Structure 1
């Protein structure tokens, strides 16, 4: 086999692999990141007025959870920095504070769903109950692969 023929095979192979890569990228469906908002609207069959109220609830909930997440990050940073000097007393205090914040976060989440329930009409209550029954499957994120 001559050198030219060898190079032609290599070039053709590279072109085919590039075309397959481009086709794979273009044909792959983008991941859906709509979150639970659209799912809840669909499952509860919200009308436009309810969607507007729900969007306001989402905004309020995100703000509250964001504040708690920020506080939690600060406390965890302080806690893990104690590894430098093994301060057990302050470590226990920080763990208690982290636990309190976790409880407050869960209370915020619970209240959020109470608020969602309040904007449901009586004919939507069965759908709400079904949504709560499916809660674990609907809102848990899939496990991340180990690193």
Structure 2
């Protein structure tokens, strides 16, 4: 093979590779983009509820507190799961310890859901006009779908790993 054929084939391969990358990052990858998710609900809440600057500040404060709580719970979940799966390295699994750790995981998840519920309750309290309160009712349906979809996506992602 001469140099021109090698360069031509290399060019064709590179073009196909570049097109594949563009398709992947423009079409497939945006669904998994975690950074976008955090701003998505925040932006949606502000737009749908027509929050003024003061309300936006209250929302930001509530979100930051909520994020810190959830991060703390997630750390507890991680540590508890490490303890749970450490049971598998034992010659004989301690059934009581296993059940206890699974119950702890359930309790932490319950605390997370309670925290989320209270967070949205605070958002409802930020609404100070009848229109905002009515818009909040519609928003809760959208947010519940968004968060349950995110949860299912993260479960699927974890199963792939």
TM-score of Structure 1 vs Structure 2, range by shorter chain: 0.7 to 0.9
TM-score (norm 2): 0.75
Larger CA Rg, structure 1 vs 2: 1
Establish whether residue 34 from structure 1 lines up as the match of residue 39 from structure 2: no
Compared CA separation, residues 96 and 22, structure 1 to 2 (3 A): closer
Matches of 1:81 and 1:26, distance apart in 2: 42
Runs of at least 4 residues off by over 6 Å: none
Identify unmatched segments of 5+ residues in structure 1. Answer: none
Establish whether residue 67 from structure 1 lines up as the match of residue 72 from structure 2: yes
Deviation of residue 80 (structure 1)? 1.6
| Structure with the higher fraction of residues in helix conformation | 2
Matches of 1:41 and 1:118, distance apart in 2: 14
- SS in structure 1 of the partner of residue 115 of structure 2: helix
Establish whether residue 77 from structure 1 lines up as the match of residue 73 from structure 2: no
Matches of 2:36 and 2:47, distance apart in 1: 12
Trace 1:1-147 onto structure 2 (pairs within 5 A): 3-4=1-2, 7-19=3-15, 21-22=17-18, 29=26, 31=30, 33-35=35-37, 36-83=41-88, 84=90, 85-122=92-129, 123-139=131-147, 140-141=149-150, 143=153, 144=156, 147=160
Deviation of residue 21 (structure 1)? 4.2
- SS in structure 1 of the partner of residue 116 of structure 2: helix
RMSD: 2.4
Query: Which structure's relative contact order is higher, taking Cα pairs within 8 Å and 6+ residues apart?
Result: 1
